[in-house]
Amino acid sequence: MVTREEAAVILWIPIGIALLMWLGEDEKKVTATAVTGKEAYYLQYNKDEIFKNLLAAESHLKTVEDQPAGDNGFMNCVVKHLADAEQHSDEAISHSLVAANEEKSENFKYISSCLKETRHMIQAGQLSPAQAIVNVRSIRQNFEKSNPEFDISKCTACDVA
């Protein structure tokens, strides 16, 4: 038995297709612009979140001391920030294909891969905080190169390196 909701979807799909075929070129351009605008909005959101989480991970790594194996403490929080930045990098891959270009998308793939590798190494206890901060700074610097609006390398008020 088909539910009321399923029936509504089944009935509206052909209408939507017919509407798209009926739209003129100008209306299709407006629709494409709306989609691109939406993708650009989400891409900007993803970039903001990647940036904030990289800085938060760096901040934690500056203050955490080496801990015995199995006692991750603050390192768990670093893992959380890296996982969040990785998730936003994954989303940015598809958003940048629509709102930017393939090169930008490839850069987000690379950043996501680096974040995942660093996160896994921290989780496995293979990186000390000092080693992890080098990795995270390298990832942030790569992110800043491809997103110059986030470049904080010239900051003279702190030691962001």
pLDDT in tens, 104-142: 999 999 999 999 999 999 999 999 999 999 999 999 999
**Residue ranges covered by each domain of the chain:** 4-150
CA angle centred on 110, ends 157 and 50, rounded to 5°: 45
- Distance between CA atoms of residues 11 and 1, nearest Å: 15
Burial of 81 (0-12, 13-18, 19+ CB in 10 A): buried
pLDDT confidence of residue 44: 95
pTM: 0.74
| Per-residue confidence (pLDDT) for residue 63, from 0 to 100 | 86
Of 120, 117, 128, 142, give the one whose Cα is nearest residue 50: 142
Q: Under DSSP, is residue 93 helix (H, G, I), strand (E, B) or coil?
A: helix
Residues 6 or more apart whose CB falls under 8 angstroms from that of 139 comprise 54, 111, 114, 115, 118
> How high is the pLDDT of residue 154?
76
pLDDT, residue 160, reads 56
Alpha carbons 57 and 74: distance in angstroms, whole number: 10
